[in-house]
Structure 1
């Protein structure tokens, strides 16, 4: 089958290979790189976690990235239609299209709460921007962030935000509106243009703050922490966390890569393209560690600060460092860019399916899908205040104590995404026509055998472990 590059949804495809790479990297690079990777590295002892993480990206993440893009281009439609087309061409049951449906549903649910978290980022962009403006007006551009505030006051800003349902919903609405506007503008005029502008700006800001951390922070201690492996730290829990981060920081099983693949022209060699996407995503994660940990170590903070690292720990660090007001402002803009490029891919998957299924105009489809996701996100925002006692899956021990947002996050991350990645590996490795798959990937005979082995055997085993240990955390004890 020759891909029609998204003709069902009225798109002509990416204008160039570089445009696709930027969009796909944008889909992969998100809060998981800037927030979750440093958090996990800090909690898991640093170097040993990083080494295992990189190994999992190369051996498992990269083969699955290529698999998803290949399915999208071979099928040429939305995620569901593409898998159905490939299954029909391969002479197997079209019920495999269910894996596409699972991916689209996963991405849609993630978008609903991801937008709420991105709203927190907007809040800190506003706070940090006002703080920097105040520093400029006072003539002290090298002032620390939130000058005059105590550590308790700075960390307490997060609690103040959570207690204000109106502000949470407004911030959530602003971010979702920006995402809808970009997707509604189309692949060329919306997604591609956003990626072309946002991703280079993101990398420039990332490098600038990393250099700042190296010059003003404790860069040597950060390097030693990230790249000196202590293998005594490699518990089953750490291995499982590293594997999960490697697979899902690449935006696997969320429908975005599969959908983006449908817009790739047939003359693009997918194998090196997938390699560039995986390499860029991993580079961002490593740079995020080199950006954050020198600052953390310089002011004597705990590298294992957990999820509070970005929104509570680092603002305290910026308060104590030269030009902290400026750097804090730039830092939160960087995170906003990362969040927006990821949310675009999360919305594009279900939007493309609605277009293909209903024939609606892209603008209408993006608005309807985005508004439904927004409504679900509102419940997540209210889960921090008005509905703080609500436990949607309280009957299930692993979700018994989690609020609405954390339950949605945990259910998608521990169950839906691993299951989606597992089904991709099984379908591509065992059911899809091997000749068609080889032609689409562009791999040589030897490399194709290696890749096929990793997809058919290594990935299912590894992802099954992630799925199993996500459901039964007591097994890792």
Structure 2
């Protein structure tokens, strides 16, 4: 079976960026930026993105292009004879499935809030009313299931149409629409009366905010938390570790070096996150809303902010349309990863892969839906409900361990090997991968990933031990 190809280089960049651009950019990034003092945190994040996340993204692109396979067969193709590296593919597949088991549900929330905003449900609403609307959504398994199934159907229909006619075409349209809506929201937000204070908070670094606290111990603890948050955000934002980027590497030719392509994807991904902040922080400061209000910022706080604006119903609807596009771009990209795994591993046709996996993802997403109502009592101390457990397994385990595994595979003589990786990454025209960085990639980068992994368990262990 001939390998499918993107119709254009722009398609590859937009689809790869679409996979990376998700709720981590437009939901998590703004509220953790608010929690850690604004611009100073953004600087930390950008540093870690360049020295930490982008090299791993290049590695995943290279593994896909060199093998011409998804994660289902990429390790098999590249490992030395008798190697066992390929066994990780099952962990990668599990990670993609786990991600979709809760991501389809959360994407459904965005779609639901777009509909509710368009219907004027938040017009003149108080904070308590908006909170009750969100609470009612979570308490209604039927409503959540309907929106989840709509998201799954969009993913299946898009991937069923093929790479060029489905994934590339739909993602191109969504990404262009996403940027148009985001630019409109940015212009509206930064021109609000009182927005200047929000812009200063977001764009003028005050590194003293990274050391908040009354004692040196508290100050260094705050700084450590900020570093960990920035490190984790930089790593997770480019979606490496589960093979989601390897599949897109396998769909491109060898005319461009991969470092430059990874930089372009990273720039687009980061641009969306930064622009989301330009919508949220000026809006919050203009209406006296606390920017460090956490995950509720999007679903409870921002509808109130948009409601206070002239034409608030329009701006609120556009915001949740933007959020829906951001979520759907990731859903479609991960669906393609899962479908390609089935085609590469078992040789099934795309139609059958889409049907079987679509049904499985829909069924496996039901526990997350029920975890907010019927199964709300199911929880793990220190982690949380079913959705939090699934998110924890992906974000705190499979993603960092997958990244670590990939770095070891690339830098080990018993794996793919550094020279083979460099040869693939530097094939074509464009920016070369820094060959001198071998020791950094082999020894320093893995330590950073291990730190992310270990610190991800610290709050859980503290809870289990009863330490405040």
Matched ranges for 1:47-446 at <5 A = 47-88=39-80, 93-131=82-120, 146-216=122-192, 218-227=194-203, 228-230=205-207, 231-233=210-212, 234-391=222-379, 394=380, 397-399=381-383, 402-430=384-412, 431-442=415-426
Shift of 1:367: 2.1
The count of residues paired between Structure 1 and Structure 2 equals 447
Counterparts of 1:324 and 1:147, CA distance in 2: 8
TM norm structure 1: 0.90
Counterparts of 2:398 and 2:179, CA distance in 1: 30
Is the 8 Å Cα contact of residues 426 and 433 (structure 2) preserved in structure 1?
no
Instruction: List per-residue Cα deviations over 1:227-265 (Å, max 9, x = no partner).
Output: 323231452122111111100111111321011111111
Counterparts of 2:123 and 2:433, CA distance in 1: 56
Counterparts of 2:432 and 2:58, CA distance in 1: 16
Q: Who is 2:5 aligned against? A: 13
Matched residue SS, 2:131: helix
Counterparts of 2:456 and 2:342, CA distance in 1: 31
Is the 8 Å Cα contact of residues 62 and 424 (structure 2) preserved in structure 1?
yes
Matched residue SS, 1:216: coil
Root-mean-square deviation (CA, aligned residues, Å) is 2.0
Counterparts of 2:190 and 2:4, CA distance in 1: 44
Matched residue SS, 1:256: coil
Counterparts of 2:341 and 2:59, CA distance in 1: 20
Matched residue SS, 1:15: coil
Q: Who is 2:219 aligned against? A: none
Matched residue SS, 1:300: coil
Instruction: List per-residue Cα deviations over 1:406-464 (Å, max 9, x = no partner).
Output: 11111211111111111111111223233321121118998532443443223211110
Decide whether aligned partners of structure 1 residues 42 and 445 sit closer, same or farther in structure 2, where only a CA change above 3 A counts: closer
1:457 and 2:436 correspond: no
Counterparts of 2:254 and 2:432, CA distance in 1: 22
Shift of 1:155: 2.2
Instruction: List per-residue Cα deviations over 1:119-153 (Å, max 9, x = no partner).
Output: 1011111111112xxxxxxxxxxxxx822322211
Shift of 1:217: 5.2
Is the 8 Å Cα contact of residues 134 and 300 (structure 2) preserved in structure 1?
yes
Counterparts of 2:135 and 2:432, CA distance in 1: 55
Decide whether aligned partners of structure 1 residues 300 and 14 sit closer, same or farther in structure 2, where only a CA change above 3 A counts: same
Matched residue SS, 1:11: coil
Instruction: List per-residue Cα deviations over 1:273-312 (Å, max 9, x = no partner).
Output: 1110111111111111111111111111110111111111
Counterparts of 2:134 and 2:11, CA distance in 1: 37
TM norm structure 2: 0.91
Decide whether aligned partners of structure 1 residues 445 and 173 sit closer, same or farther in structure 2, where only a CA change above 3 A counts: closer
Is the 8 Å Cα contact of residues 429 and 455 (structure 1) preserved in structure 2?
yes
Matched ranges for 1:464-475 at <5 A = 464-473=450-459
Structure 1 unmatched ranges of 5 or more = 1-6, 132-144
Is the 8 Å Cα contact of residues 6 and 252 (structure 2) preserved in structure 1?
yes
Is the 8 Å Cα contact of residues 21 and 237 (structure 2) preserved in structure 1?
yes
